[in-house]
Structure 1
Amino acid sequence: MLDLTFTQITEWLGFVWWPFVRFSGFFLIVPFFGDTRVPVMVRILLPMIFSIMCAGIIDNVPSFNPFSIQAYVFAIYQFSFGFILGMVVLLFMNIFSIGGQAVSMQMGLAMAVMNDPSSGASVPITARIFNITAMLLFLSLDAHLIVLDIFVDSFRQWPFDTEYPFEGIKHVLAMFGWMFSSALIIAIPAMLTMMLSNVTFGFLGKIAPSLNIFTLGFPMTMLLGMIALMLSIFGVGDIFFDMVSEMRDHMNYVLSL
């Protein structure tokens, strides 16, 4: 007859529950896995499956007592660990949304917005084009597997008894500068093209005041904007791999703090 004690049950639950909490914080915010278009049941099952798979490689796991207040505090503590790493990936994907918004403003399409199912907010149409392109490149390069591999490594570099990573939070906040600068690199071909077109139409308006610049300029601006958008999208593929490498380095650096 198998005789189980409450202590043994709480120890076994800890091997699954604590990785599940950390994975939940990660999958809540990371793109693709935490997309609102993914059914809620799937978003719950994913961290559960990964936590069961990782249960055998994790050492020094504390027991889980559901009747203890310390367990709930520790759950929030572990949830924030996954949230910090997920924020790195989210900032990486926001690079392309911000770049698309910058291109949209230069093209005069700031009012052409559509609903973003992943965030529930209204974003310019060009931002959605950039976002979808980046997501397809992200999956085609198996970058989601790289992200998961680094996150699994967090159980070794950030064990359950480690101190709270305040330095990691500071680095994530500093990454906002990297996000905006990278978005500018993506959008700068279109921005320069549209700036030159605006300067050209300004000279035309000065040289030939009889010309209706608004009637002539708007379709020409849209045409040049489409060409610039095409050039920007083609340029995304050239620098995407380098940005994925930078994201990987940022995640590893946060783990090393």
Structure 2
Amino acid sequence: MTEVDLSQLQQWVGSLLWAMGRVGGLVMVAPIFGNPTLPARIRVAIVLVLTVVLAPLSPATIDPMSAQGVATMIGQVLVGASIGFILKLVFEAVAFGGQLVSQSMSLGFSEVVNPEGGGSTPVLSQLYMVMVTLIFLAMDGHLQLVALLADSFRTLPPGSGLMGPNAMHAIVMFGVHLFSGAVRVALPAVTSLLVVNIGFAAISRAAPSMNLFAVGFPITVSLGIVVLWLSLRSLPGAFESLTDSAWSLMHDLAGG
């Protein structure tokens, strides 16, 4: 009869818990993995598979049933959620840029249900989100995210303490990219449409009796579609620049 070593069993349970906490925090917040449109069974399966794969990388010298173990578990969830939140800010910046473009094209009223954030969102925002999601997958971003999570167990092992105020401040300051990134994504289209609106302003001064709403709306939408098609070429470069900043901050938070 094989005797069960309680200390070894405790290490196994601890390794699984620490890995599950960090993976669960990431999947809960990160885009693509945490998308509500993804069936719950698939998300649970992703968490379980990644937990089993990453558990050997998680050292377990802390009793999971102790107060220190509870604090460690909270820390693992915060680490995973922080990494996922940074990446989510990048996707939200792109969606915000699509909203700016839709308002410039007078298509702000054209909205669809947003299953991820709840409520409704402009159609162009959803279009931009779909495109950057495909770009992210084509760049193997999901694999880089898993690799970063695996490497974080080496650079930031469980029990090394909660994230400090400097890390929290860096995450808050990264929120600036939500606005600067949106401007970077929307700037080509918004600038072109601004020139069109200035032209309509000049026409309204020259011919005040002209019904600019009847004439300007179809012209703005038509030119906006052309400008949008041309400006989409700059979307991959803007998204890559945002993701580079996000990867740099995520590596810093993970202790790399």
Partner of residue 233, structure 1 = 232
* 3-state secondary structure, aligned to 1:256: coil
Q: Within 1, Cα distance between the matches of 2:84 and 2:61?
A: 22
Q: Within 1, Cα distance between the matches of 2:88 and 2:185?
A: 17
**Cα pair 2:31 2:87 within 8 Å, conserved:** yes
Q: Cα offset for 1:14?
A: 1.0
Q: Within 1, Cα distance between the matches of 2:45 and 2:167?
A: 28
Residues 80-91 of structure 1 aligned to structure 2 (within 5 Å): 80-91=78-89
> Which among 118, 129, 146 is matched to residue 131 of structure 1?
129
Q: Cα offset for 1:233?
A: 1.9
Partner of residue 37, structure 1 = 37
Q: Structure 1 counterpart of 2:86, which letter?
A: V
Partner of residue 50, structure 1 = 50
Q: Structure 2 counterpart of 1:80, which letter?
A: L
Of stretches 184-193 and 246-255 in structure 1, the one that deviates more from structure 2 is 246-255
Describe the shift of the 1:58–1:69 C-alpha distance in structure 2 as closer, same or farther (beyond 3 A). Answer: closer
Aligned pair 1:16/2:16, yes or no? yes
Residues 147-186 of structure 1 aligned to structure 2 (within 5 Å): 147-166=145-164, 167-186=166-185
Structure 1 gap segments, 5+ residues each: none
Partner of residue 99, structure 1 = 97
Q: Structure 1 counterpart of 2:109, which letter?
A: M
Q: Cα offset for 1:146?
A: 1.1
Q: Within 2, Cα distance between the matches of 1:119 and 1:210?
A: 44
Q: Deviations over 1:5-43 (max 9, x none)?
A: 544422221111110111000110101111111111221
Using the size of structure 1 for normalisation, the TM-score is 0.92
Q: Within 2, Cα distance between the matches of 1:64 and 1:185?
A: 46
Describe the shift of the 1:101–1:87 C-alpha distance in structure 2 as closer, same or farther (beyond 3 A). Answer: same
* 3-state secondary structure, aligned to 2:117: coil
Q: Cα offset for 1:54?
A: 1.6
Q: Cα offset for 1:129?
A: 0.5
Partner of residue 26, structure 1 = 26
Q: Structure 1 counterpart of 2:187, which letter?
A: I
Structure 2 gap segments, 5+ residues each: none
Q: Cα offset for 1:44?
A: 1.7
Q: Within 2, Cα distance between the matches of 1:206 and 1:183?
A: 32
Of stretches 149-158 and 134-143 in structure 1, the one that deviates more from structure 2 is 149-158
Provide the identity percentage.
26
Q: Deviations over 1:151-207 (max 9, x none)?
A: 211111211121221222111100011221111011011111111111101111111
Query: Matched residue pairs, number?
Result: 255
Describe the shift of the 1:11–1:238 C-alpha distance in structure 2 as closer, same or farther (beyond 3 A). Answer: closer
**Cα pair 1:168 1:255 within 8 Å, conserved:** no
